[in-house]
Structure 1
Amino acid sequence: MPKRKNSDIKDYTLKNGEKRYKFQTYLGLDDNGKRVMVTRQGFRTYTEANEEYEKLRAKGTQGYTKPKQTTVEEVWKLWFDNYKRHAKEATAHKMEQMYKYHVKPDFGNSYIDKIKPPKIQKWINHLSTTLVQYRSAFNLLNNLIKYSIVMGFASYNPMSRVLVPKKTTKKRRDTKNNYYSSTEEVTKFLEAARNDSEMAYVFFKLLVSTGIRKGEALALKWSDIDFKNNIIHITKTVDVGFHNKELIRSPKTKESTRDVPLSKNLKVDLLKYRSNLYEYIFCKANGEHLSLSTPASWLARIYKNNTELKQITVHGFRHTFATLTLQPGMGNTPKDIQKILGHSTVDMTLNIYTHESKKGQQNVIRSIDALNF
């Protein structure tokens, strides 16, 4: 292998292990007497880098124009165009919203190679006090700067000099109190929901009897329920895509595609409720699935008309299911409930979705059927 003579050309390694080449060279003085240094990188081979090096050296400062600086907004458009081709539409939409509301206002018009660590530090310090998912915003800006380096728009990453603060914001949901801790509380709520509407009653009965997510429930079709074997197949969910348009997509994780047991009481209510000929269980008059905002409207109306009820969120019924089914004496293991909830780890089930029950050590429930809602 011939010895490489150009000592200005250096090799470096990307995070994925691939090798690239770069160089920096002096071209001379421009018309204002300023030194012109150029840097190029991203070459796949030494030969490619050397050819570009020789070309620039031959021209010197003649015809040389300083490369146009690139803004964060321009980098975002390039990066996101590629990202959305591989991500689920709902996921890409969330990323687009994160950029629009939390990155663009502060950095959109900034040249990406001129962003300094102090500005980023001030930005992330403030964001940590106002946004629960502030680390996602930080990671997005970091990815954009890394991408700009690969593309040759910037030469170093100022994010490496920024200290990410610890979380200071509270979660939007009070998970410590966002659940019903006894079957009595659930029964009182379901009675109130039945008085509101049959559809609302069956919807919340479904959530608290299975622990499935709101979007998963709204995406259910009658064909997803195996009444013979008492199984509900969870294979899709309602989510939000581009332009805030709701869509049906596959569940959020691999583990979220699952089968959950159909209790006897829920089965009776579903069969009694099954009076429409439409494919979706919860649908509008034209047969389309309900909007993601509809359950919250039901809940608000139920609580307004029944002020004595403890108020929880729609997601709180998932917490309730996990808490009641994991009580001492229930006979279920965390692994059992993890599979039903569609969690990737047991820790998530135990740390997020379970709470101390009022029934304590009493043998309250021995199976999901015994919940007897």
Structure 2
Amino acid sequence: MRTKKRLNDHLNEQLVKFRIEIEAGEYIAPEKMHFSAFVEEWEKKYAVKHLEVTTLNTYKRCLKKRILPVFGSQRLDQIKPIHILNYLDTLEQDGSRMDGKQGNLSSGSVFMMYRILKNIFSRAVEWRIIKSNPVAQITRPKVQYKESRVYSEDQVHQLFEVLQKEPYHWRVMITLALTTGLRRGELLGLEWKNVDLNTGVIHVQQSITTFKDGEPIIKQPKTRKSFKEGSPTNISNSRIK
């Protein structure tokens, strides 16, 4: 941009892009954009392309149930950090649950609302609809994790005994869950080609976490550590009879 010619070339290039957006019906007018309208653009242009199906479904439920009723009619550029802060604060108050139970939302649910809002406003900044992300200036809500309750050794032994009376497929599935620590989606994604009965190992290479139009969505395991071609799960000590 150091010369007038380069500046003019850049401006002409942006003008061409602007005209293309208008003619294609993709131009978004910042001064008229309400939060609900931008969420529709966000879903079409970003969410369906970049979010996992389960994540997208969760986001859409939260938006419909809790976020859009509050921010939907507000102009995107007029939502400030204080509005986000006040909203998150109301979620932590008694009576914020919507399932008929007493108390407030869990810290995990509050964080989910923060996460969704931050994602949406981040896209608005990237697309130059607004200049700054109001959520980015809010301290991330703390999540209080509950201690996991696991079966004792005696309970596992009792479960194995009860399983012997159940159909074979349940005996296999539950035994693998107890002895390997595989996630539910990883268990559902197992195929015979992933199981080596000679060496007693399972190669975890895919996972099924949800279905779309009746068909399973197959993907790689959740983390890279889960996907290990050369470090399979040993099942030689499993009690499948």
| TM-score, length-scaled by structure 2 | 0.70
1:181 is aligned to 2:148: no
What is the CA–CA distance in structure 1 between the aligned matches of 2:50 and 2:234, rounded to whole Å? 33
Specify which structure has the higher proportion of helix.
Answer: 2
What residue is the counterpart of 2:233 in the other structure? 260
Query: Given the alignment, which residue of 13, 30, 36 partners 1:73?
Result: 36
1:147 is aligned to 2:123: yes
Q: Residues 79-123 of structure 1, C-alpha deviation per residue, up to 9 Å, x if partnerless?
A: 232243234434444443443444323222321111133321122
Letter in 1 for 2:114: F
Q: Give the CA RMSD over aligned residues.
A: 3.3
What is the CA–CA distance in structure 1 between the aligned matches of 2:141 and 2:109, rounded to whole Å? 12
Q: How many equivalent residue pairs? A: 210
SS in 1 for 2:76: coil
Q: 1:2 to 1:248 in 2, by over 3 A?
A: closer
What is the CA–CA distance in structure 2 between the aligned matches of 1:2 and 1:264, rounded to whole Å? 71
Check the 8 A contact 2:111/2:141 in 1, yes or no. Answer: no
Q: 1:86 to 1:144 in 2, by over 3 A?
A: closer
What is the CA–CA distance in structure 2 between the aligned matches of 1:67 and 1:120, rounded to whole Å? 20
What is the CA–CA distance in structure 2 between the aligned matches of 1:226 and 1:119, rounded to whole Å? 56
Structure 1 range deviating more: 230-239 or 120-129: 120-129
1:159 is aligned to 2:128: no
What is the CA–CA distance in structure 2 between the aligned matches of 1:164 and 1:87, rounded to whole Å? 21
What residue is the counterpart of 2:105 in the other structure? 130
What is the CA–CA distance in structure 2 between the aligned matches of 1:2 and 1:228, rounded to whole Å? 69
Structure 1 range deviating more: 69-78 or 131-140: 131-140
Letter in 1 for 2:133: N
Check the 8 A contact 1:209/1:263 in 2, yes or no. Answer: no
What is the CA–CA distance in structure 1 between the aligned matches of 2:216 and 2:55, rounded to whole Å? 12
What is the CA–CA distance in structure 2 between the aligned matches of 1:2 and 1:202, rounded to whole Å? 69
Q: 1:69: how far off?
A: 1.4
Letter in 1 for 2:68: K
Instruction: Map 1:79-158 to 2 at 5 A.
Output: 79-80=42-43, 81-128=45-92, 129-131=104-106, 132-158=108-134
What is the CA–CA distance in structure 1 between the aligned matches of 2:59 and 2:205, rounded to whole Å? 23
What is the CA–CA distance in structure 2 between the aligned matches of 1:241 and 1:112, rounded to whole Å? 34
Q: State the structure with more CA Rg.
A: 1
1:240 is aligned to 2:210: yes
What is the CA–CA distance in structure 1 between the aligned matches of 2:163 and 2:233, rounded to whole Å? 23
Give unpaired runs (5+ residues) of structure 1.
5-44, 54-65, 273-373
Specify which structure has the higher proportion of strand.
Answer: 1
What is the CA–CA distance in structure 2 between the aligned matches of 1:265 and 1:161, rounded to whole Å? 51
Q: 1:210: how far off?
A: 0.8
Letter in 1 for 2:111: R
